[in-house]
Amino acid sequence: ALVMQIIDGKQVAEKVLSECSDRIAALKEKGVTPGLAVVLVGEDPASKVYVGSKARKCVELGIYSRKIELPADSSQEEVMAVVEELNNDDKVHGILVQSPPPPHIDEEAIVRAINPAKDVDGFHPENVAKLALEDPTGFVPCTPAGCMRLLKEAGVETSGAEAVVIGRSMIVGKPMALLLMGKAGNATVTVAHSRTKDLAEVCRRADIIVAAIGKPEFVTADMVKDGATIIDVGINRVEDASKKSGYKLVGDVAYDECAPKCKAITPVPGGVGPMTIAMLMQNTVQAAEATL
């Protein structure tokens, strides 16, 4: 019988953050305090929570944190002006504009306006290119970088493995596929999406499934090979009358039925989620180190 491993994202995130602490101490000895600026346009409640926890994590680590909150009716030019100011601020090594901005804002233009050397989300075209080129001076998007670190810390062999990534977004699926395919992963990668035929059959080939779909409990046990590893990126709110908040968080994987078939699996919450913010801190440290 299999002994299933629940991959503890909180524990791995703590390890990443403690590595960051050491690097921050070394930077401070050289007179550099890493700085991260987070720009929030509008009042989206989930975005407010994310921005708040990013700022809090900075303070915990001794990273200089700037939070710039702009009203929902800010113009494109006003947001661009803030990005320009942050590009020119030597105390700020990392800049991110929390997604999604209000619909009248051209998010792509904002991302392109960020100095690529400060683009700690890794969404600027220059960093996308560097990821494809496997140039280590680029910034890797935080969530897929966190997934790779989880696989590594869990001792999952990616080299030669059949990996199926479900989802092809620029934030998760596509960079995840590049990382697994590249020298860091050496996996044989299939990328599935909404047009994929017979997804269940494709998934059953996988030694490693990375689910980044955005649909609650979409991956079911019949799609999982015995002994597979599952990384569940999904964060979905579903109603739950037994909770005080009225909802609970579930992943893109039906955990209860899939876990017994797995060699290793990430829970939601407590899997990929804590890694994303830890990798953001790591990218901010990398940005500061690059200025030395």
**Interface with ligand NDP by CB under 6 A: which residues?**
143, 166-169, 171-173, 192-196, 199, 212-215, 233-236, 252, 272-273, 276
Q: Which residues are annotated as a binding site?
A: 167-169, 235
- Order of all β-strands in the sheet with 188-192: 5-6, 262-265, 228-232, 208-211, 162-166, 188-192
3-state secondary structure of 198: coil
Q: In angstroms, what is the minimal distance from the CB of 20 to ligand NDP? A: 17
Distance CA 263, CA 230 (A): 8
Q: In angstroms, what is the minimal distance from the CB of 188 to ligand NDP? A: 19
Residue 247 dihedral angles phi and psi, to the nearest 5°: -145, 165
Distance CA 51, CA 44 (A): 11
CA torsion angle 82 84 85 90 (round to 10) = 130
Q: Which of 272/287 has CB closer to ligand NDP? A: 272
Give 106-117 as a DSSP string.
-HHHHHHHS-GG
Q: In angstroms, what is the minimal distance from the CB of 89 to ligand NDP? A: 27
Q: Which of 207/252 has CB closer to ligand NDP? A: 252
Q: Which of 72/238 has CB closer to ligand NDP? A: 238
Instruction: Write the CB contacts of 66 (distance below 8 Å, at least 6 apart in sequence).
Output: 35, 36, 37, 38, 86, 92
Q: Which of 199/281 has CB closer to ligand NDP? A: 199
Instruction: Write the CB contacts of 91 (distance below 8 Å, at least 6 apart in sequence).
Output: 33, 35, 64
Specify the amino acid at residue 152: K
Q: In angstroms, what is the minimal distance from the CB of 234 to ligand NDP? A: 4
User: Of 57, 118, 119, 121, which one is the catalytic site residue?
Assistant: 121
Q: Which residues are annotated as a binding site for NADP(+)?
A: 167-169, 235
54 is catalytic: yes
Q: In angstroms, what is the minimal distance from the CB of 150 to ligand NDP? A: 11
121 is catalytic: yes
Q: Which of 80/249 has CB closer to ligand NDP? A: 249
Q: Identify the CA nearest to 282 among candidates 66, 21, 89.
A: 21
Catalytic residues: 54, 98, 121
